[in-house]
Structure 1
Amino acid sequence: MTRVLVVDDDPVQLRLTAEVANRAGFKPLTATSGEQALTILRDDRNIGAMILDLVMPDLDGMGVMDAMRREGLTTPVIIQTANASLETVISAMRNGAADYFVKPVAPERLVVSLRNAMKLDALEAAIRSERARKSGTFSASDMIARAPSMERVLTLCAKAGKSTIPVLIEGETGVGKELIARIIQGSSDRAGKPFITVNCGAIPPNLVESVLFGHKKGAFTGAVADQVGKFAEAHNGTLFLDEVGELPLDTQVKLLRALQDGEIEPVGATRSERVNVRVISATNRRLLNLAKSGEFREDLYYRLNVFPIYVPPLRERMEDIQDLVSMFTSRFAAEAGKRILGISPSALSLLMAYDWPGNVRQLENAVYRAIVLTDEAFLQSVDFPQIVAQSSGRDIAVKAIAAVPVPDGPIHIDTAPARQRAVIEMPSVPDRFLDPTGEIAALAEIERAAIVFAIAHHGGRMSRVARALKIGRSTLYRKLHEYGLAEELINDAA
């Protein structure tokens, strides 16, 4: 469930806003001050959005957004305030607010604003990730890997980035081994340098040596010009050898020499060339098993397997599915030009219950297909017929598709039914000036309640309580004794 941080110094407004977010399917967190909000954001960077009051004691909303910008906190901010001036709106938007509304706000307006802010944040995160990937500065913060099973992977990536040690990344197909390699490069001193990817299993055996090391003109039939190899292209950068276990044995000999001596010899060349390349390998099969069976050179295996990193499959990091679906939905919806706000709880439960043999790549393709299929604002279970078929059987999938309501014929504008809207009921809040019987409370009871609230709000700091209530400290202490609050404070302190 996506968490939403609600920040307001008014306890009634805080409770109302949090309840609206809760009824809309979000998990609300609350804070009564700007400093408390910043503390929560620093400790938990996975909060989906923040509804921020602009006018608060100590640190106001503008101050919170300034601090977020300085510290790189990218949580989307929705501003709410009682001040509707144009200058305030412009200042809030310039400080990075995703939306702005004036109290009191309709629950439907608040829910739509939350969903739009989260969708925009997911899309911006995808764009930042793609830019970092292309610039060679991809880091752990650009990858969705918040599951506990990924903590060790990211820790090893950080350690590998501090040296030029050869790294072997192992994992099933589609788990994101290339992204792990890019994180290692992005956290090393080679960040921003060339990152060359070679899929060893997709190159014809007779061209592998030429692709990796290059060739000279006339080296073989069809070599009409000199060709630079991937090792030379990755000079001073990183070479990522994907599916390295598919390399032919004769090519493995030359790869071993390149790793040991830092030299390559293009096909048809008379002398070798020095290269400065950091090699990161990846495989979806155990290289040790291939080495034992003779399909992979044992000496090359030990050369590549100096620093192994195992990437767990998606079924072992199900905590990341919701964030991955959100990111894929935002990206593909933008590409398709569709307004899709997210995924329904039932569809998300369907995806969470699936084993995903194709891992993240399969999830990405499933979401892409669902985006193309859907005509709704939220992805539904019926938009994932292949997952339904594999999870529950083909008959269930066919019945689910057949159950989707389809008009029997054209519907005239005069007879078109109104769209059903979700009704969010506002919680009933008892008036603070009424007693349990509905009568006006006594002045002494109201005054006592105000003092109790002020003490709790200011953490028992009596000087601040007296200033807030506009009374002297002696008067405050007299009223504490008068209402029997002094003994309670003493007992609490004890």
Structure 2
Amino acid sequence: MRSSVLIVDDDPVQRRLLEASLTRLGHTPICLESGQEALNFLRSPDGKTIKAILLDLIMPDLDGMGVLSALKADGNAIPVIVQTSQGSIDTVVSAMKLGASDFIVKPVSPERLRVCLANALKMSALEDTVSQIKRSAEGRLTVTDIITRSPAMARVVQLAERAAKSQIPILIEGESGVGKEMIARAIKGSSPRRNKALVTVNCGAIPEKLVESVLFGHEKGAFTGANEKHIGKFAEAHGGTLFLDEIGELPLDIQVKLLRALQNGEIDPIGAKAPARADFRLISATNRPLIDLTRDGLFREDLYYRLNVFPIWVPPLRERMDDISHLIQHFLVRFAAEEGKRHIRGISAPALELVSSYSWPGNIRQLENAVFRAVVLCDGDQLTPAEFPQIAAHEGMVLPLETAKSAPLAPPPAKAPSQAMLGQSAPQSGMIDAASRYGMADLTDGAGAPRTLAALEEQAIRFAIGHLGGHMSEVARSLGIGRSTLYRKLSEYQIDASNPDGTAEGADAVAQEQPSRLSA
């Protein structure tokens, strides 16, 4: 994944060497020749794109130590790798005390540079993620925290920045899971009300009989069971921001009261003798177009025009594929830290190609969950297609057989396998032997009619057992069923786990391959 790395060195030869090395490593180098130039750049808007710094310690005017001191005073947490021709312990200790993350001694070897930079970038990603989570929890998330490199989202960010400077009502529309609440939080964090409360309400999650009380509150004794006074969400948001998610789910009678609150800045708690003033900034969101609900009579037209003053449409993830790699890196750093798998440093090119080809109907929420699952499954230092089995199955990709788990399979039976399994025109490399031995799922019978689901299920189970060498835990996991269900299916279809293809030769071959796994 390309990252912008700042090179600060007064030696033009050293700058060119480092620039060439970083380019070969797949990063984007930015070269400056003095410490003051570096500080000016890092304090500008462009400086926010820098993920790591290679800093020379010996420079005229402002040297490397001076730059480190200034960065520390600015609160800039970008990882800094100091480079010096003097490898003394005192120099290194002084640099580390000022905030340097690592050091290299000139001339640096390509491997040493690669390792130092990989560690620095991992630290930078972790710092960014932790900082964003902290700002979100504290209500300080801003528009600049929105993770995007997609042109489709550039308009969203621009509109969010403009909306944040005003008190205008905002309507955020988009599919479920695109990040509407995050954008609402970013707008609030960039607005004049950033230090005030953000009250969020999921209108679709409130029982219809309680909506009015939850939103507007009630007085003690206003109805049966009202044993004490209740402050509604509008009152809680007084002076701050109210975010109404899934606003299209509000009942029509509540929409009338919401319209009055927007028009007059007054709310009517149940049982109150007089209206109460409420000063709030309203941000609403919906995953269903309100104009359609209005046409169907499910949403008041006057309220629609009151809410739709400043609409923001958030495109689905399938229309902003440029964001996928950056979102994966963000989620990867977070979940790797949470799950204690800090050795995972990225995602492989085949895995990234796989997830980029998927349509993501659940949008960012689905991508986040997929990365979480992949991190839990991953044992290596990179996420591979094997960690995304559900997406691979949806895309018709057959994952390669793990050679470490089974010996070469027996010769294929006389009958040639069908090529119709899951829409594949041909099995991929590594699967041809397993496909030949256990068959590919033929969707039609001998007469050309569709086969029954039971027959397909039986063949899928036989194939999975042969493909995974009789390891029943993995078979159940790959088929998406529990082990008890798997054993029930084996009994139902009279499948012998040690001989899934039903032949004597198959039983001997499997027994020779992995006799210990059949009892797993």
TM-score interval, normalised by the smaller of the two chains: 0.7 to 0.9
Counterpart-to-counterpart distance in 1, 2:339 and 2:130: 16
How far off is 1:88 after superposition? 2.5
How far off is 1:36 after superposition? 5.6
How far off is 1:349 after superposition? 2.3
SS across alignment from 1:227? coil
Identity of aligned residues (%): 58
User: What residue in structure 2 maps to residue 225 of structure 1?
Assistant: 228
How far off is 1:270 after superposition? 3.0
Aligned pair 1:344/2:345, yes or no? no
Q: Cα 1:310–1:39, aligned 2, differ >3 Å: closer, same or farther?
A: same
TM, length-normalised to structure 1: 0.75
Counterpart-to-counterpart distance in 2, 1:310 and 1:191: 23
User: What residue in structure 2 maps to residue 366 of structure 1?
Assistant: 370
Does the Cα contact within 8 Å between 2:216 and 2:232 map onto a contact in 1? Answer: yes
SS across alignment from 2:48? coil
User: What residue in structure 2 maps to residue 180 of structure 1?
Assistant: 183
User: What residue in structure 2 maps to residue 53 of structure 1?
Assistant: 56
SS across alignment from 1:370? helix
Give, as a single letter, the amino acid of the residue that structure 2 aligns with 1:201.
G
User: What residue in structure 1 maps to residue 238 of structure 2?
Assistant: 235
1:118 counterpart (117, 121, 126): 121
User: What residue in structure 1 maps to residue 9 of structure 2?
Assistant: 8
Does the Cα contact within 8 Å between 1:174 and 1:361 map onto a contact in 2? Answer: yes
User: What residue in structure 1 maps to residue 357 of structure 2?
Assistant: 353
Counterpart-to-counterpart distance in 2, 1:337 and 1:244: 39
Counterpart-to-counterpart distance in 2, 1:291 and 1:366: 36
Does the Cα contact within 8 Å between 1:128 and 1:142 map onto a contact in 2? Answer: no
Q: Deviations 1:138-170 (Å, cap 9, x if unpaired)? A: 212222133322222222222222221111111
TM, length-normalised to structure 2: 0.72
How far off is 1:269 after superposition? 2.7
Give, as a single letter, the amino acid of the residue that structure 2 aligns with 1:403.
E
1:104 counterpart (89, 104, 107): 107
Structure 2: runs of 5 or more not aligned: 408-520
User: What residue in structure 2 maps to residue 131 of structure 1?
Assistant: 134
Does the Cα contact within 8 Å between 2:173 and 2:313 map onto a contact in 1? Answer: yes
Q: Deviations 1:70-113 (Å, cap 9, x if unpaired)? A: 66765422111112233422332233322123233443332222
User: What residue in structure 1 maps to residue 27 of structure 2?
Assistant: 26
Give, as a single letter, the amino acid of the residue that structure 1 aligns with 2:357.
A
How far off is 1:314 after superposition? 1.9
User: What residue in structure 1 maps to residue 198 of structure 2?
Assistant: 195
SS across alignment from 1:48? strand
SS across alignment from 2:244? strand
Counterpart-to-counterpart distance in 1, 2:41 and 2:390: 40
Counterpart-to-counterpart distance in 2, 1:212 and 1:304: 17
Using the TM superposition, name which of 11-20 and 211-220 deviates more.
11-20
Does the Cα contact within 8 Å between 2:148 and 2:326 map onto a contact in 1? Answer: no
What are the residue-to-residue correspondences of 1:205-216 with 2, within 5 Å? Answer: 205-216=208-219
How far off is 1:172 after superposition? 1.5
Does the Cα contact within 8 Å between 1:291 and 1:301 map onto a contact in 2? Answer: yes
Q: Cα 1:112–1:407, aligned 2, differ >3 Å: closer, same or farther?
A: farther
- Higher RCO structure (Cα 8 Å, ≥6 apart): 1
RMSD: 2.4
User: What residue in structure 2 maps to residue 426 of structure 1?
Assistant: none
How far off is 1:13 after superposition? 4.0
User: What residue in structure 2 maps to residue 257 of structure 1?
Assistant: 260
How far off is 1:291 after superposition? 0.8
Does the Cα contact within 8 Å between 1:129 and 1:143 map onto a contact in 2? Answer: no
Count of residue pairs the alignment pairs up: 403
SS across alignment from 1:240? strand
Aligned pair 1:316/2:319, yes or no? yes
How far off is 1:58 after superposition? 4.5
Give, as a single letter, the amino acid of the residue that structure 1 aligns with 2:276.
E
User: What residue in structure 2 maps to residue 165 of structure 1?
Assistant: 168
